[in-house]
Every structure is written in structure tokens, then in C-alpha cells.
A = this chain, B = another copy of it.
Amino acid sequence: MKLIVTVMPKNGVLDPQGKAIEHALGTLGFEAVGEVRTGKVIELELAETDPARARAQAEEMARKLLANTVIESFRVELA
């Protein structure tokens, strides 16, 4: 079963990479670009076939390893 974990900086946490992209898009001529935020996406292949249990496993992985929950939030989707 394939799952997608998306990890984003929490609101209020500085995102210098996002700011750099925002600036670069302006330089490339893209106007009317508002806030840009960047994060990570992790695609996992789990042997678990039950969707609820697979999701619970992925959430535990996110809490323990994939995300720093002090400054990042995460969401888990089934792919």
C-alpha cells in the first residue's frame, strides 16, 4: 500500500527557501505571486494492506522520524 506523507513548516515558522522561490519567480517575470511555502513529500510503500492501519503506521513514522513536530506539521494520504 502506497502512502504520501507531506511535511510543511507550521504557520509563523520562517521558510527561507520559500522566500527565495518567491523572489526568483518575480525575477523570471511571474507577477501576482503571493506567499510561497516549501515542504517535503515522502512516498512510502508499506506491506500493510488495511488502509486505516497503514495510515496509522505512516502517522507514527511521521511523528517519530519524518517531521519535526515542533516546527512542522504533516498530513498523510493514501496514494
Contact = CB atoms under 8 A, between A and B. Distances in A.
Range for the number of chain A residues in contact with chain B = 20 to 34
A13 interface: no
Given A31-B47, A38-B42, 12 more contacts: A6-B41, A8-B41, A18-B42, A21-B65, A25-B61, A25-B65, A30-B57, A30-B61, A32-B47, A36-B42, A36-B43, A39-B43
23 contacts: A6-B41, A8-B43, A21-B42, A21-B66, A25-B65, A28-B61, A30-B57, A30-B61, A31-B47, A32-B48, A33-B45, A33-B46, A34-B47, A36-B42, A36-B43, A36-B45, A38-B40, A38-B41, A38-B42, A39-B41, A39-B43, A40-B40, A41-B41
